[in-house]
Amino acid sequence: MPASQSRARARDRSNVLNRAEFLSLNQPPKGTPEPRSSGRKASGPSVQPPPAGDGARERRQSQQLPEEDCMQLNPSFKGIAFNSLLAIDICMSKRLGVCAGRAASWGSARSMVKLIGITGHGIPWIGGTILCLAKSSTLAGQEVLMNLLLALLLDIMTVAGVQKLIKRRGPFETSPGLLDYLTMDVYAFPAGHASRAAMVSKFFLSHLVLAVPLRVLLVLWAFCVGLSRVMIGRHHITDVISGFIIGYFQFRLVELVWMSSNTCQMLISAW
């Protein structure tokens, strides 16, 4: 009996799998169930496996998530550039909104800045153009005023249509005024005051004989109107820039469809 035990120990020592570095090969894999012992229970704390329904429930919830909540691992270069420019636009617009409220840094100058913006509103310009048209007695003056009225109406319809299509809000929670509702200038993109100021200034520079100081003041006025809309927190910087661009193209369109003096006289007589 002792001889057989000594032979078994020698055989175990000669077995390579009994070494310390190969002990993991003798253990069963983790996925296989351990044999149940009928004699005694395990002394350690029992770990309960998670219910089988949790994994399926999480998978269903992940499938129900909207696409905008999913992370884009490989965004395109255009998307990165657009989002970066949009973030810069919002940040700079909020910094320039120094008159956005009474508690802002330039809150005491809010009334004056709003007054500058009103000079580019559509209602005063349309009313003033109609009044000057009624008082005008020359054919050349009536021709210029009728085309200016056409340009103003075109500007209001274009800005209102684009704003309804884009529906972009301003950088601050500022509600439009009564005059803004009358001209359907409710949203931020594009800035209607900026487009109107650019179109009117370009119109006057092309069809009126003005001295150089007046021409410079006219350009500065258009710029101040656009800047005032950013300062009161009504528009972003890109809204104003887009308004300037739209105003220029509106002027070019009016130049292409310019109404002659005979057409203007026919419209005035019919009116």
* Catalytic position from the list 121, 207, 235, 236: 235
Closest CA to 246 of 121, 174, 160, 126: 160
How many residues would you count in the chain?
A: 271
Answer yes or no: 207 catalytic. Answer: no
Cα 223 from chain centroid? 23
Answer yes or no: 236 catalytic. Answer: no
- Quick one: how many helices (H) and strands (E) in the chain? 12, 0
Distance, CA of 184 to CA of 137 (rounded, Å): 33
Distance, CA of 132 to CA of 194 (rounded, Å): 23
Distance, CA of 166 to CA of 161 (rounded, Å): 9
Closest CA to 201 of 179, 185, 220: 220
Locate all alpha helices (DSSP H) within 119-191, ordered by sequence: 122-135, 139-166, 178-182
Can you give 97-117 as a three-state secondary structure string?
A: CCCCCCCCCCHHHHHHHHHHH
Distance, CA of 131 to CA of 231 (rounded, Å): 31
Residues annotated catalytic, as ranges: 193, 235
